[in-house]
């Protein structure tokens, strides 16, 4: 009985994670590395992602590869993104670098939902965005956008 092949993923801070090849292939970036890397590619470096984030990403991939048709996949996804903003942002970046469409869509949509219904000030506060417009520039913007009631 053959055991399925495992791949080791190494994060930016040196943490290593052993995963089934099938799970690792959920990341198209890893799939590409394996396919072009030659026979000896059992350890793959993922320098753009820290260990904490990588372990979460692997959790996502595992669930989606091992039980793609399960009824609780939706609720898994919903719960998966109930995390701190920082973690969510790390997940978005990681899914982009690792080319995992499902996770990128999920995290992007969650972030987009955080913008909904907030005023400009509230958005700045939520995401710690610094308003770097000068008062004159801001006045200019307000004038430009005065024809709509959106701002």
Partner 1 sequence: MLAPSFAGFEAYFVDGCVRDLLLNTTPKDFDVITTADLDQASEFGDMDRISQFPDFIVHHILSFCNTLDGPPAELVRMSVLSKTWFKLTASFPILEFDIRNFESRTSFFKYVEYTISRFCHENLTAHKLKLVATLCEPAELDIVNRCLDLVLRKGVKALEIHITNSSDVPASAVPKYCLPNTLLSASMLESLVIRGCELPSSYMVGVVKFKYLIQLALIDVQIDDEVIKCVTTSCPLLQELYIARCHGFKRFCIYGHQHLQRVGVYYHTPVEKIDIEAPNLCYLMVVDTNYIGAPRINVSSCKKLTTVFYFGRPLPNSNGFTDFLSKFPFIENLVLYTGYRCNNLNWSSHSLRTLVLHINCDFKEMEFNTPNLALFIYARNYNVLRPEVDKHWYLGGKCWPPVRDLTHMKGCMQCYPDGHIDVLWFQKLRLFLDKKNGFKVLNLYINSIYSQKLTDLEKLKAIDLPPYELEHVELQLDAFPFEESMAFVDAVLCCCRPRSLTLRLSSPVTDVEEQSNIVKFTFEKLLEQEDQSHTNIQIVGPSSSHAQKHLMELKSLSMILPREGETTSFIKEEVVQEEADA
Residue 26 touching partner 1 (CB under 8 A) = no
Q: Return the residues of window 94-113 that contact partner 1 according to CB under 8 A.
A: 96, 104-105, 108-109, 111-113
> In the complex, what is the shortest distance from the CB of residue 21 to partner 1, in angstroms, rounded to a whole number?
27
Neighbours of 56 (CB within 10 A): 18
Show Cβ contacts of residue 71 under 8 Å, excluding neighbours closer than 6 positions. Answer: none
Q: Return the residues of window 117-136 that contact partner 1 according to CB under 8 A.
A: 118-120, 123-124, 127-133
The 3-state secondary structure of 58-125 reads: HHHHHHHHHCCCCCCHHHHHHHHCCCCHHHHHHHHHHHHHCCCHHHHHHHHHHHHHHHCCCCHHHHHH
Residue 92 touching partner 1 (CB under 8 A) = yes
Residue 33 touching partner 1 (CB under 8 A) = no
Binding mask 52-81 for partner 1 (x = CB under 8 A): x-----------------------------
In angstroms, what CA-CA distances link 58 with 20, 29, 119, 140, 147?
10, 14, 35, 47, 48
Tokens of 46: 């993922």
- Of the two residues 23 and 104, which places its CB atom closer to partner 1 in the complex? 104
Q: What residue ranges bind partner 1 (CB under 8 A)?
A: 13, 50, 52, 84-87, 89-90, 92-93, 96, 104-105, 108-109, 111-113, 115-116, 118-120, 123-124, 127-133, 138, 141, 144-145, 147-148, 150-151
């Amino acid at each position: 009985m053959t055991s399925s092949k495992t791949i080791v993923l190494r994060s930016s801070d040196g943490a290593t994670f052993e995963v089934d090849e099938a799970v690792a292939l959920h990341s198209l970036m890893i799939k590409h590395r394996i396919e072009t890397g030659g026979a000896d590619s059992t350890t793959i470096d993922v320098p753009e992602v820290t260990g904490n984030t990588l372990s979460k990403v692997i959790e996502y991939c595992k669930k989606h590869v091992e039980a793609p048709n399960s009824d609780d996949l939706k609720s898994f996804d919903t719960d998966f993104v109930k995390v701190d903003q920082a973690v969510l942002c790390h997940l978005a970046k990681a899914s982009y670098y690792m080319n995992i469409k499902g996770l990128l869509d999920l995290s992007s949509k969650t972030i987009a939902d955080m913008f909904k219904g907030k005023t400009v000030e509230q958005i700045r506060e939520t995401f710690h965005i610094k308003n770097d417009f000068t008062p004159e520039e801001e006045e200019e913007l307000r004038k430009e956008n005065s024809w709509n009631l959106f701002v």
